[in-house]
């Protein structure tokens, strides 16, 4: 079993066409490929406007039919917490992600660059990372209540530049308490993704969420799905081997896949 439900194509900020990505997915032995273009957000220059969203929907639906005997294609969207999609109807699935924090009506991205994160931290939080993390996880928890959201995207994206733990220790009890409250509030109906996107781009050596958070998710009975959040077809399965090892190590024995409109568990041993 190989799948990826978090991928970006030329319709938003990805490098390849959906058809090129499908070709590579088939070559790599994927049975499921989901597209998750950035849903429109006025603050996000990578997101798809209304006209582009319509073209994206049409293109993926056409490819779904064209390749139906070779691979299952799903049409999804990555919705930022700042801007909900007008309707879930066209989509097979929705990933909910928090990329921005808001203060006094101003929105700033936490994942744009290390310098921007530091600027937000200094200008909005007087350098107090736990305070920033509190606002971030509250926003993740808020989005986790949106009924259209199926999958919680890159749960701890705010640690994109924290590989060296210079912002926070991944095992800080105060930090993990914020994460735990967030997970408790979202519950276990949604799927949490393990996302290897930052590995492909060289920011992190391990996937989101960090191991310490995977342990919390395991204790809560959280359901996981493995995605690469790739912006490039060569990264469709980037970091999957290490991620599978980590997920098993944390005690999970299955991963969830989308099948006939439901999220169903598949033994982790079936994945490679």
| Residues at the contact surface with Zn ion, assessed by CB under 5 A | 78, 97, 229
CB closer to Zn ion, 116 vs 215: 116
Residue 26 Cβ, how far from Zn ion at the closest point, in Å?
22
Residue 22 Cβ, how far from Zn ion at the closest point, in Å?
18
End-to-end CA distance of the chain: 7
66 token code pair: 């064209």
State the CB neighbour count (10 A cutoff) for residue 145. 12
CB closer to Zn ion, 99 vs 223: 99
Residue 125 Cβ, how far from Zn ion at the closest point, in Å?
22
Residue 179 CA to residue 185 CA, distance in Å, equals: 10
Residue 111 Cβ, how far from Zn ion at the closest point, in Å?
7
| CA dihedral (19, 21, 24, 25) positive or negative | negative
Which residues are paired to 263 by β-bridges? 258
CB closer to Zn ion, 95 vs 244: 95
175 token code pair: 């930090």
Residue 269 Cβ, how far from Zn ion at the closest point, in Å?
27
CB closer to Zn ion, 78 vs 235: 78
Cβ neighbours for 158, distance < 8 A, ≥ 6 positions apart: 110, 111, 117, 132, 133, 136
SS3 101: strand
- Residue with smallest beta-carbon separation from Zn ion: 97
């Amino acid at each position: 079993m190989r799948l990826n439900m978090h991928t970006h194509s030329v319709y938003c900020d990805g490098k390849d066409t959906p058809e090129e990505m499908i070709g590579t997915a088939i070559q790599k032995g994927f049975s499921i490929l989901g597209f998750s273009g950035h849903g429109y957000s006025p603050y996000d220059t990578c997101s798809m406007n209304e006209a582009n969203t319509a073209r994206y929907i049409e293109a993926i639906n056409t490819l779904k039919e064209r390749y139906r005997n070779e691979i299952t294609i799903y049409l999804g969207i990555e919705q930022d917490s700042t801007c909900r999609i007008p309707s879930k109807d066209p989509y097979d699935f929705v990933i909910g992600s928090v990329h921005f924090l808001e203060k006094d009506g101003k929105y700033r991205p936490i994942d744009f660059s290390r310098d921007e994160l530091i600027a937000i931290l200094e200008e909005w939080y007087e350098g107090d990372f736990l305070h920033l993390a509190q606002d971030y996880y509250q926003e993740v928890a808020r989005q986790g209540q949106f009924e259209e959201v199926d999958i919680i995207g890159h749960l701890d994206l705010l640690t994109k530049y924290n590989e060296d733990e210079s912002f926070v220790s991944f095992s800080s009890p105060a930090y993990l308490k914020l994460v735990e409250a967030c997970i408790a509030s979202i519950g276990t109906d949604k799927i949490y993704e393990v996302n290897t996107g930052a590995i492909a781009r060289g920011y992190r050596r391990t996937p989101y969420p960090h191991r310490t958070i995977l342990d919390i998710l395991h204790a809560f009975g959280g359901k996981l799905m493995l995605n690469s959040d790739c912006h490039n077809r060569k990264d469709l399965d980037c970091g999957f081997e290490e991620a599978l090892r980590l997920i098993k190590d944390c005690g999970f024995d299955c991963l969830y896949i989308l099948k006939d409109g439901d999220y169903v568990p598949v033994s982790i041993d079936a994945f490679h």
